[in-house]
Amino acid sequence: MLARRAFLLLAMATLALLALGPARGRGERPETEPLTIVTAQGPQHFTVEVARTPEQMERGLMFRTSLAQDAGMLFDFKTPTLATMWMKNTYIPLDMLFVDAHGRIADIHQRAVPQSLDLISSSTPVRVVIELAGGTVERLGIKIGDEVRFPLFGNAS
CA distance 7 to 144: 62
Residue 123 lies in a domain: yes
Total domains in the chain come to 1
Give this prediction's pTM.
Answer: 0.81
113 contacts 91 by C-beta, under 8 angstroms: no
Residue 77 lies in a domain: yes
Amino acid identity, residue 145?
G
Could you tell me the CATH number of the domain that includes residue 131? 2.60.120.1140
Residue 10 lies in a domain: no
- Tens of pLDDT along 70-112? 999 999 999 999 999 999 999 999 999 999 999 999 999 999 9
Q: Domain range holding 71?
A: 29-153
112 closest CA partner among 141, 140, 136: 136
- Tens of pLDDT along 27-70? 577 899 999 999 999 999 999 999 988 899 899 889 999 999 99
